[in-house]
A and B are shown apart, each in its own frame.
Chain A
Amino acid sequence: MLDKMIYLDNSASTRLDERVMDAMKPYYFDTYAVATSEFGYSMGIDAKEGLEAARETIAASLGASAEEIVFTSGETESSNMAIKGVCAALQKKKGEHIIVSKIEDFSVLNTAKNLEKKGYTVDYISVDAEGILDLEELKNKIRDDTVLVSIQHANQEIGTLQDLDAIAKICKEKDVLLHTDATHSYTRVPIDVSKTPVDLISMSAHTIHGPRGVGALYVRKGTPLDKWMDGGYQETNRRAGLENIPGAVGFAKAVELVTPDEIEFLKSLRDYTFERVFDEIPHVTLNGSKTQRTPQNANITFHYVEGESMTLHLDMRGFAVSTGSACFSRSLEASHVILGIGGDHERAHGSIRFTFGRYNSKEDVDAIVDAMKEVVSQLRAISPLFNK
């Protein structure tokens, strides 16, 4: 057992950077007023300044303008706001048809399913064996009454990156709005909205060492979007409810702290994991694309063993990772992503997702690969599927 837990589940959430905490603190203890107009009281004006500076930072990271950023509570709210908001705004004008991919996060998939119950038609676009979208299928499925295409930028489990430029080009040619959930790529892989005509982008702070419960939605100027939560007139009347100012400030600080060196470092940990696992552990399969993938994600199936057993053994040795096994999830459903890339149930059950963050090291990779070798060999020894 290690002295401390080695955490390799950074796509689920990351450890808050202390510098982010330092940036947020004044907005909890000193400048804790709600954001007020320039005619309000000074603490409220200061709070507003903090919020707007954070908005500028998020906007600049995308090549957008500040008024195109709406602060939210995170990925789920951003994607709900985008999809439901556009649908509500265009239902009467354009129709009730949307398109999503089969491997989206549940915040998109379940929003689509909810709309289906309300009479919308949803097309679920296939992906290939690496998780890459079938662009021809997308092109063919767009109809005159399609109000929105929602395709993730990076996959939450297997890290596959979509060709956002190509998807956006198709959508623009067909005159349909495009939303992308960029929660797992934001700041890891550049998106420049001045070059890529995507209309809405979901982001979240907790995947980049920012605070939990804060995110943002980029809304291109002029995009029709109905408010889906009624209340006050915050966020230029696009999102009711008091703004989480410390959270927004923390989110912006987290964005500022990401450097190109860090991205290279994450890539090096990912590639070193692949190198060691594929060299030293037999009967393994890469999940996702080797080249079109996020820097922080390594997802591998260890055949003949079941994921929950692996994660439990690893936890007992001081490691945190996740798996696409049905037994790991309360729903007892195997990863829809691995099944979506044409994998069978066994491949999903034996998959392990390693996701890296700023606080990981090469030594962490060495430690977990050494532990994996033992755990996998121990479980294969009792597996009826493994030919001993």
Chain B
Amino acid sequence: MKFPYTEKVLEHFKNPRNVGKLENPDGKGLEGSPACGDMVAVYLQVNPDTQIIEDIKFESYGCASNIATASIITELAKGKTIEEAKKISWQEATEELGGLPPVKAHCSVLAVEGLRAAIRDYEEKHGLVTEQEPTTPDVLRSRLKHVMNPMAGLDIVRTELVTKMEINDGVVRILLDLPSNHQFAANIKEEVLEKIESLWDVKEVNVVFTE
């Protein structure tokens, strides 16, 4: 009896491809958190003329399933246009790896979300978002669902750490039920800013802590 991982998963886990960080990436995505046990960062370098992903790197704080999926996804995305890369699904990555234990699905989905977040970041930074949906509290809520509450292992919306979200003339105000001197306050603030600042119609983001 061996591990419920395929040879290919173990191979990518042992020798992950495209590992590391790109300095000044064109797009960057960070999904998950130490609290939920898995975290993936994806960095992209995109050719502005061809929209082809010329370089891609990832970092992972996660289990074998997470590392192997992130590794295979970078292989699948490299050389593709961002439109093509957007279509890479978790199922495709799983098939490439020869399957993953069902219980580990969420660990690997995170890698796909990391890639998509990096593409979205690239598009937003380069004015490529075609559907310019105005930022509403619903949009903010959806973005903040990707910020984890390290005390609970769930996102800050679901754990009611976010008490209020306001948007007024491009100025966003997020109220958090957390004192500013809390050990996780700075990390959470940084993640909130990262998820919201890049929205096309947002000029300023203020994160307010309870005192």
Contacts and interface: CB of A to CB of B under 8 A. Distances in A.
Contacts of A381: 19
Interface in B39-91: 39-41, 58-67
Nearest to B70: A382
Given A312-B13, A316-B14, A382-B67, A345 B60 contact: no
Interface in A370-387: 381-385
A146 to B, nearest CB: 31
Given A326-B37, A385-B39, A308 B63 contact: yes
Contact of B61 (A306, A326, A330): A306
B153 A345 contact: yes
Contacts of A289: none
B63 A309 contact: yes
Contacts of A316: 14
A327 B34 contact: no
A382 B16 contact: yes
B121 interface: no
What's the dominant secondary structure at chain B's contact region? mixed
A145 interface: no
A304 B30 CA distance: 15
A312 B9 CA distance: 12
Nearest to B42: A384
A123 interface: no
A98 interface: no
A346 B183 CA distance: 13
Interface residues of B, number: 33
Contacts of A346: 34-35, 150
A9 to B, nearest CB: 16
Contact of A345 (B21, B34, B64): B34
A382 B103 contact: no
Contact of A306 (B20, B38, B150): B38
A203 to B, nearest CB: 30
Interface string B1-41: 00100000000011010011100000000100011111111
A291 to B, nearest CB: 26
B150 A344 contact: yes
Contacts of A384: 21, 30, 39-41, 59-61
A309 B150 contact: no
> Is the interface on chain A under 10, 10 to 19, 20 to 34, or 35 or more residues?
20 to 34
Contacts of B16: 382
B38 to A, nearest CB: 7
Contact of B62 (A306, A334, A344, A345): A306
A382 B19 contact: yes
A353 interface: no
Contacts of A382: 16, 19-20, 58-60, 67
Contacts of A332: 37, 103, 106
Nearest to A331: B103
Given A309-B63, A312-B13, A383-B59, A344 B35 contact: yes
Given A306-B61, A308-B64, A312-B13, A349 B3 contact: no
B3 A334 contact: no
Contacts of A306: 37-38, 61-63, 66
A294 B61 CA distance: 31
B202 to A, nearest CB: 24
A305 interface: yes
Interface in A339-388: 344-346, 349, 381-385
Given A312-B3, A332-B103, A344-B150, A305 B61 contact: yes
Given A309-B67, A384-B39, A349 B34 contact: yes
A325 interface: yes
Contacts of B171: none
Interface string B107-122: 1000000000000000
B63 A385 contact: no
A201 B97 CA distance: 49
Given A345-B35, A346-B35, A383-B59, A327 B107 contact: yes
Given A305-B61, A309-B64, A381-B19, 6 more contacts: A309-B63, A325-B37, A327-B38, A345-B150, A382-B16, A384-B61
Interface of B: 3, 13-14, 16, 19-21, 30, 34-41, 58-67, 103-104, 106-107, 150-151, 153
Interface of A: 304-306, 308-309, 312-313, 316, 325-327, 330, 332, 334, 344-346, 349, 381-385
8 contacts: A305-B61, A313-B14, A325-B63, A327-B63, A346-B35, A382-B20, A382-B59, A384-B61
**4 nearest interchain CB pairs?**
A346-B34, A327-B63, A384-B59, A308-B63
